[in-house]
Amino acid sequence: MDGLLPKKQFYRRILPDSCISFASPKGKQLFIESMSSGHMECYFKLSAQFRTQEEPAFCGLTTLVMVLNALEIDPGKVWKGPWRWYHENMLDCCVPLQLIERNGITFNQFLCLAKCNGISTVAVRADHKCSEEIFREKVREYTKRDDSFLILSYSRKVLKQTGDGHFSPVGGYHPEEDMVLMLDTARFKYPPHWIPLPLLFESMKALDNATGQPRGYVTMSRLDQNPLLILFRISTLFSVSFPCGCASEMVSFVQQWDDWLSQENASKNLSNTEELEDFVHGAVHALEKCLQHLKPDQTILTTQLDLSCPEDYITQATQVFDR
């Protein structure tokens, strides 16, 4: 049996001296004092959805699942039994899950996954345009809210933790000690812990080896779209590169559709049902023209929801497309 066991095994890691365990006496004191200052509002909805990542490279996916469920976003498809609920294996757009399991995800891929699943994001790279004070103000603001959350992409190496790139949600802030509570999803490795904000900011400035860019932070809130507008997305199988023989009409259509869906207030620009139907009818008509130029092995759109999605989504879409 010994030959079947991995050569190296670990039961957790010891937090470096710069970090304070959430469950330690000092960690509890910081929690109580942060509660009194009003900077733990984000904690409760996030902690209610706190998960341990199921794969070593799933920190980004698990962080996103926590936020999706904390924001009470309906995935539109079944998790198990009759229940619709977000799980990591449902985040299968933007990047194949098999690749994420091996390599994790980059900052931009994390944003793509968030947008694909109904989250409005505002991302900031920790570059020369971003100062520690700007970051501190964001932490102050978003730890006093429970309708939006602050997610960090940072380097563990700078914190003197093992590993490197990591995603975690911010769970609270202690203004006097200037420490941030990180709800680390790798709970098999490190418990939730408090980190000095200046050190955390430095860890976001570290370059990602995969992209050559600094990491950063992103604020996340619900993106309330009309069901019709989340029924389809740009297929991951479709790409536009020049020269490729793609018709300019097709390129223009895909770019305009993608840009429009990315607008935070896109659905609010359509004030009534008739106006919405006119927009969708026009989009379908434009798509129909593009299909004349489509090669047999090309795909432009794919469904955003599977067959188990709420029936009213399908009913509304069918009525418009049959018009």
Reduced to 3 states (helix: H, G, I; strand: E, B; else coil), residue 168 is strand
Instruction: Say whether 166 is catalytic.
Output: yes
Which is catalytic among the residues 184, 193, 246, 309?
Answer: 184
Instruction: Say whether 59 is catalytic.
Output: yes
Q: Alpha helix locations (H) across the chain?
A: 25-37, 41-48, 59-70, 97-103, 107-116, 132-142, 197-205, 248-262, 273-291, 311-321
Q: Which two tokens stand for residue 272?
A: 């009534």
Reduced to 3 states (helix: H, G, I; strand: E, B; else coil), residue 15 is coil
Residue 222 pairs with which residues in a beta bridge?
A: 119
201 vs 135: CA distance, rounded Å = 8
Type and span of the H or E element at 259:
helix 248-262
Which is catalytic among the residues 59, 94, 246, 309?
Answer: 59
Residue 214 pairs with which residues in a beta bridge?
A: 207
Q: Among residues 140, 80, 143, 85, which one has the least CA distance to residue 117?
A: 85
Q: Among residues 60, 39, 35, 63, which one has the least CA distance to residue 49?
A: 63
**Residue 318 C-alpha from the chain's centroid:** 30
Q: Among residues 224, 50, 220, 33, which one has the least CA distance to residue 145?
A: 220
Which is catalytic among the residues 42, 116, 130, 166?
Answer: 166
Q: Which two tokens stand for residue 181?
A: 């509570």
Determine contact, residues 132/201, Cβ cutoff 8 Å. yes
| Angle between helices 273-291 and 248-262 in degrees, nearest 10 | 150
Helix, strand counts (H, E) of the chain: 10, 11
Instruction: Say whether 147 is catalytic.
Output: no
Determine contact, residues 231/315, Cβ cutoff 8 Å. no
| Angle between helices 41-48 and 59-70 in degrees, nearest 10 | 110
220 vs 66: CA distance, rounded Å = 11
Q: Tell me which residues are annotated as active site.
A: 59, 166, 184
